[in-house]
Chains A and B, each alone.
Chain A
C-alpha cells in the first residue's frame, strides 16, 4: 500500500467515524503505532448522558439475528493476536458456539451465538470498544 493509499484509507475511515457521531468533536487526534484515536468535546457537551449510537443498517433487516455484546468492553475476533478469527463471513455457527471475545477488566468473556446461522456480517472492527448489548455479528438463519 502506498502512503497515499494509506492516507486515503485513514481519511475515509475518519470521515465515517465523524459521520457516525452524534456531535462533532472539537479536536481529533490520530496516532499510528498501537492506534490511538482520541476525540475531545468541549466541556459543555461532555455531559454524562449516554451516547446513543446510530443504528447499524443491518440491524433493521428483520431476517437477521444479532449476536450482541455481553458487557461493555473491547471486541476481539480471534482467541489471541495473530490467530485465525473465530468466524468469517459465511461461517456456519450453532447455539453456544464461540464467535468472539469481549475483554473487560482484564478478563476475556466468550461471546456465543444464540441461534444457528450463517455469519452475514461482522459489525465491529477487531480491537474496538463496544457498548453493552451492541450488535457484534449478524447471522442469517438457516434451516436445521
Chain B
C-alpha cells in the first residue's frame, strides 16, 4: 500500500478521500490554492502545499505545480478526486512519467473513453446498446444534418470531449439543426478546447441510471448495482438514489453485465461508472463512461457497505479485488445542496457562511468541507454539501431525507441554497411514486421559481 497520497482536489471530495487515507494509515498531502488556505483539508492533512492562486487553471488544474508538490513531499500516488485533472489523460501520463501512481484508469483508457465518439465505437463492439446516432465525429454540418434527419427528431448534439452535462443541445426539428450545430461546436471549443461533436437520438422522457463498477488489474470486474440520477436540472444532477425506483432487478442485472463487459473490453482498472438512459419501454441505452470517483458515490457505499475510495486505493496499489458477492441492503438517497438561488433561476449565491448547522440522527451522512465561518468561494463550483441518508426502504429514506433537509441550517450574506427546493422535490408526488423523468422535475422547478420571486 502507498505510504503517502497527494490529494489533487479541494472541497468535500478532497476531505472525503483524505479521511479514507487516514483510516488506512496513509500519510495525506493536501494541495491548495490561496483561496482555500483555511480549508478543512489543509488542517486535516499531514502536510499541505500551496500551489497557486484561486483560478483552477493556475492551481488545481496546473499539473506542474501539483507534480512538484508530490515530488517535494515524497508522495507515491495522486488521487485526483472528480473534476479538475481527474479525467485528463495527459495528467495521468505525466504522473506515470514521474514515477507516481495516478489513482484511476491508465492514461490510454481515460483517453479512449473520454472521447465520447471513440467510447461509443469501442463499446458498440463489446455489445453495448447505443442510442441511434453517429459513431464518429461529424465532418461538417451537411454530414451532421444527414445523420440527424435519418435518426429522426428530437436529437441531441454533444461535444465529443464533453461531460458533466455541459456542451450539449437538444434540437426538435431539422430547421433549427444548423444553428444548434454551430453553437454546440463553438461551446465545445470554448469549454473543452475541441470543437468535435456527435449526434444521437434524444429521449425526452427517460430515466438516468448508472452502474458503478470496480475493476482490478487482473481482469476481475464487479458491478455494485445502480444509481438513479433522474432528478436533474439542465443536465445537472440534483438527487441520486439506489435502488432505482420501478426498475426491474432483471434490467439492472443486464445493465450491470453490459457495464462489466464494457469495462473488460476497454481494459479498465479502478472505480468507474457506466451511464445509461432507460426509455419508457424499459430498454437501456449507453450514454458515457466516467473514469473517476463520482459525486454520488456515497449512495452505493451506503447500501453495499463498501468504501469505494478504499477500493480505488487498493486497486491502484496492485491488490486484487476480493469483494466476493456484493450484497445490497435497503435504500439510500443523496441530495446536492448547492449555493444557488432557486428564486433567481438557480443563480450562484456564494459567500460567507455565518450559520452552518448540518443535520444528524441515525443513518444520516453529510459530506462537506464547509463549516460555520467558512466561505463558499465564487471561484469554484456551487456544491456546499452532500446529504446522504439510508433506510430499510425507499419510503422511509424519503421521510428521513425530508426531515434532514428541513433540519439543515445554512445562512450568510448573499447565501441561498437548494435545500428548500430539494425538500419540496422529495415530497412531490412524482418523486414519491418514482414516476418522474429527466424532464418532469426540470419543468416542476419553474413554477416554484416564479412563485418565490
Q: Is B378 an interface residue (CB 8 A)?
A: yes
Give Cα A132 to B414, complex, Å. Answer: 5
Q: Once the chains bind, are A36 and B53 in contact (CB under 8 Å)?
A: yes
Q: Once the chains bind, are B414 and A48 in contact (CB under 8 Å)?
A: no
From the candidates A49, A50, A105, name the one contacting B380 in the complex (CB within 8 A).
Answer: A105
Q: Once the chains bind, are B413 and A133 in contact (CB under 8 Å)?
A: yes
Q: Is A80 an interface residue (CB 8 A)?
A: no
Give Cα A107 to B34, complex, Å. Answer: 21
Q: Once the chains bind, are A103 and B378 in contact (CB under 8 Å)?
A: yes
Interface 9-mer from A10-18, A66-74, A83-91, A114-122: A66-74
Q: Once the chains bind, are A105 and B37 in contact (CB under 8 Å)?
A: no
Interface size on B, residues (CB 8 A): 24
Q: Is B374 an interface residue (CB 8 A)?
A: yes
Shortest CB–CB separation between residue A6 and chain B, in angstroms? 22
From the candidates B351, B372, B379, B381, name the one contacting A71 in the complex (CB within 8 A).
Answer: B351
Interface size on A, residues (CB 8 A): 22
- Of all chain B residues, the one with the shortest Cβ separation from A74 is B378
Within 8 A of A (CB), among B381-424: 381-382, 413-414
Q: In the complex where A49-B373, A74-B378 touch, is A109 in contact with B354 (Cβ < 8 A)? A: no
Within 8 A of B (CB), among A27-72: 36, 38, 46-50, 69-72
Residues of A within 8 A of B26 (CB): none
From the candidates B352, B374, B382, name the one contacting A105 in the complex (CB within 8 A).
Answer: B382
Main secondary structure of the interface of B (DSSP, over half): loop
Q: Once the chains bind, are A50 and B354 in contact (CB under 8 Å)?
A: yes
Residues of B within 8 A of A112 (CB): none
Give Cα A105 to B380, complex, Å. Answer: 5
Shortest CB–CB separation between residue B165 and chain A, in angstroms? 13
Q: Is B141 an interface residue (CB 8 A)?
A: no
Q: In the complex where A105-B381, A132-B414, A133-B414 touch, is A38 in contact with B53 (Cβ < 8 A)? A: yes
- Count chain B CB atoms within 10 A of each CB in A38, A48, A74, A131 and give the residue with the most: A48
- Of all chain B residues, the one with the shortest Cβ separation from A36 is B53
Q: Is B359 an interface residue (CB 8 A)?
A: no
Residues of B within 8 A of A71 (CB): 347-351, 378, 414
Shortest CB–CB separation between residue A45 and chain B, in angstroms? 12
Q: Is A21 an interface residue (CB 8 A)?
A: no
Residues of A within 8 A of B373 (CB): 47-49
Give Cα A36 to B34, complex, Å. Answer: 11
Shortest CB–CB separation between residue A112 and chain B, in angstroms? 12
- Of all chain A residues, the one with the shortest Cβ separation from B380 is A105
Q: Is A19 an interface residue (CB 8 A)?
A: no
Residues of A within 8 A of B380 (CB): 105
Q: Once the chains bind, are B53 and A104 in contact (CB under 8 Å)?
A: no
Main secondary structure of the interface of A (DSSP, over half): loop
Shortest CB–CB separation between residue A68 and chain B, in angstroms? 10
Residues of B within 8 A of A46 (CB): 37-38
- Count chain A CB atoms within 10 A of each CB in B348, B373, B375 and give the residue with the most: B348
Residues of A within 8 A of B375 (CB): 48
Give Cα A69 to B348, complex, Å. Answer: 12
- Of all chain A residues, the one with the shortest Cβ separation from B338 is A105
Within 8 A of A (CB), among B322-349: 339, 347-349
Q: Once the chains bind, are B378 and A104 in contact (CB under 8 Å)?
A: yes
Q: In the complex where A36-B53, A46-B38, A49-B373 touch, is A131 in contact with B347 (Cβ < 8 A)? A: no
Q: Once the chains bind, are B348 and A104 in contact (CB under 8 Å)?
A: yes
**Per-position binary interface string of chain A over residues 121-144, scored 1 when its CB falls under 8 Å from any chain B CB and 0 otherwise:** 000000001011100000000000
Residues of B within 8 A of A131 (CB): 351, 413-414
- Of all chain B residues, the one with the shortest Cβ separation from A105 is B348
Q: Once the chains bind, are A48 and B38 in contact (CB under 8 Å)?
A: yes
Give Cα A74 to B35, complex, Å. Answer: 14
Give Cα A72 to B416, complex, Å. Answer: 12
Shortest CB–CB separation between residue B190 and chain A, in angstroms? 11
Give Cα A109 to B414, complex, Å. Answer: 14
Q: Once the chains bind, are A105 and B354 in contact (CB under 8 Å)?
A: no
Residues of A within 8 A of B382 (CB): 105
Within 8 A of A (CB), among B17-55: 34, 37-38, 53
- Count chain A CB atoms within 10 A of each CB in B37, B354, B378 and give the residue with the most: B378
Residues of B within 8 A of A49 (CB): 373
- Count chain B CB atoms within 10 A of each CB in A47, A70, A73, A105 and give the residue with the most: A105
Give Cα A38 to B52, complex, Å. Answer: 10
Q: Once the chains bind, are A50 and B352 in contact (CB under 8 Å)?
A: yes
Residues of A within 8 A of B53 (CB): 36, 38
Give Cα A72 to B378, complex, Å. Answer: 6
From the candidates B38, B348, B381, name the one contacting A109 in the complex (CB within 8 A).
Answer: B348
- Of all chain B residues, the one with the shortest Cβ separation from A49 is B373
- Of all chain A residues, the one with the shortest Cβ separation from B354 is A50
Extra pairs beyond A71-B348, A105-B339, A131-B414 (17, CB < 8 Å): A38-B34, A50-B352, A50-B413, A69-B414, A70-B347, A70-B414, A71-B350, A71-B378, A71-B414, A73-B350, A105-B348, A105-B378, A105-B379, A105-B381, A105-B382, A109-B347, A132-B351
Instruction: Across the A-B interface, give the 6 residue pairs with the lowest CB-CB distance, nearest first.
Output: A132-B414, A48-B373, A104-B378, A104-B348, A105-B348, A72-B351
8 A-B residue pairs with CB within 8 Å: A46-B37, A49-B373, A73-B348, A73-B350, A105-B378, A105-B381, A132-B351, A132-B413
